[in-house]
Every structure is written in structure tokens, then in C-alpha cells.
Amino acid sequence: MDFETVMQELEALGSERNKKIYISNGAHEPIFGVATGKMKPIAKKIKKNQPLAEQLYATGNYDAMYFAGIIADPKAMTEADFERWIDGAYFYMLSDFVVSVTLAETDIAQAVADKWIASGEELRMSAGWSCYCWLLGNRPDVEFSESKLANMLDQVKETIHESPDRTKSAMTNFIYTVAISYLPLHDKAVETAKAVGPVEIKRDNKKSTIVRVSENIQRELDRGKLGFKRKYVRC
């Protein structure tokens, strides 16, 4: 399936309702408004195709960029490719749910995520913290340095309330994911969540969201989710 055909199929799957929802979350034109579930049949036909993914991502069309993440071949991507993709990720649904997810399937994931966390740029930091969430929720605990993750929890505790809003959101997810999916630091993550307390996240033209990480952790513990790992990072 070539580039033009994919763009035509995506356009045909778009809806005004989804378009409005995505725009309310930060997307902008060009955009078709395709429900992500409706992309799966096209993705099954294509499987992985990095050259096509690059063409789609370069369009700046939100749906095409999202679909690019689904058919990308992460192992074929270099650090420079990921830097280019994060440069193009203009809002959190791209940085945290396309770029960081794709990065999480590579061997360079932690090294790149570390650079992004240290960058001082809101969406790069958000993508970096999010990448660790995808990694921790999928890979065995032995693949991580306990002391490094412990230091990252301390960093979150010390900086979260002064961080940009999207970074704050990803940091709350990091505490939660360590508590649920990384058993060696479960207790420390629970303590960190209590120390951090409620986190206010301001959203454009909407009421602020208050995230209570301790409650979110407890809810998952009550459901017997301690130690949860997902089989795949990307659907």
C-alpha cells in the first residue's frame, strides 16, 4: 500500500466528532479525526514499513503521524530519527503516545529518554518520563538499575510541582508505574506519591486536573495489579 492510498483511506475513516475531540486536546489542522481502533485493519495489511512511516510522519497530519507510529520499525530508527520525530511532535498525544511508545521498543530507549528528561523542554521531558512508563510496564525488572530509578523518584519528588504541566502529568504516571510495575521500588514509589500529594495540572481552556497518585496506586493494588506487565508496548 503506497503513501497516497494510505492517506485516502485515513481521510475516509475520519469523523468530525473525533476531530473536535483531538483538537480540544491540542491537535491542529491538518487532521482527519480517525479513531485509533479503525487504523488497525490498514496496519495489518502494511505491518512494519519504516520508509512509509517516515513519509506519513512528515505530513504534519495528526492521524498520519499517529499511524506512522503504528507501522514504524523502531529497530530501524536511529537516535537522530527519534530527535526528528520529537521535534515534529507538537502536542502530548504525539510526544507521549507515538514517539515515546516507538522509542520504548528500541535498545537506545533509556539513553534517549534520559537526554529528553534533562532537556528542560516540556514535551521532550514528558516523552522521556513517558518512555520509562512504557518500558517499566513491559520489560523485566532486571533490565533496570534500581539505584537509577530511585534517584529518578527523588528527582520527581523535588521538582514535580515546579515542572511544566505536561511534564507533571508524565511524572505522576512515572511514580504510579514504578509502584505497580517495578517491584524492587514499590515501597519507595508509594512513599514518593504520599510526599508529592495532589498534583495540579492546568489544561488549555479547561478546568485544572488534580492527580492524586496515591489513590491511583491503591486502586490498582485493590484490583490485584501489583507486578503488572503488558505483553506488547504498541498495540
Rounded to an integer, the average pLDDT of 37-65 is 97
Least confident of 8-22, 31-45, 192-206: 192-206
Give the residue with greater pLDDT, 107 vs 203: 107
Burial of 149 (0-12, 13-18, 19+ CB in 10 A): buried
**Confidence band for 235, pLDDT divided at 50, 70 and 90:** low
Place of cell 519504516: 50
In angstroms, the CA 188 to CA 155 distance is 13
pLDDT value, residue 203:
83
Rounded to an integer, the average pLDDT of 105-112 is 97
Query: Helix, strand or coil for residue 44?
Result: helix
Tens of pLDDT, residue by residue over 120-174, are 999 999 999 999 999 999 999 999 999 999 999 999 999 999 999 999 999 999 9
The proportion of the chain whose per-residue pLDDT surpasses 90, expressed as a percent, equals 95
- The answer to whether residue 215 scores a pLDDT higher than 90 is yes
Cα–Cα nearest to 93, from 7, 183, 33, 53: 33
Rounded to an integer, the average pLDDT of 183-188 is 98
User: Domain spans of the chain?
Assistant: 108-235
Rounded to an integer, the average pLDDT of 212-222 is 98
pLDDT value, residue 173:
98
CA distances from 93 to 40, 48, 99, 132, 225 (A): 18, 21, 9, 16, 25
Q: Whole-prediction pTM value? A: 0.95
- The answer to whether residue 114 scores a pLDDT higher than 80 is yes
Tell me what the pLDDT averaged over the chain comes to. 96
pLDDT value, residue 150:
98
Rounded to an integer, the average pLDDT of 188-208 is 93
CA distances from 190 to 27, 148, 193, 215 (A): 34, 17, 5, 10
Rounded to an integer, the average pLDDT of 67-95 is 97
pLDDT value, residue 206:
77
Rounded to an integer, the average pLDDT of 200-212 is 89
- The answer to whether residue 207 scores a pLDDT higher than 90 is no
Rounded to an integer, the average pLDDT of 183-197 is 98
Rounded to an integer, the average pLDDT of 47-52 is 97
The proportion of the chain whose per-residue pLDDT surpasses 70, expressed as a percent, equals 100
Per DSSP, helices labelled H in 160-205 are 165-181, 186-196
Query: Helix, strand or coil for residue 108?
Result: coil
In angstroms, the CA 32 to CA 19 distance is 6
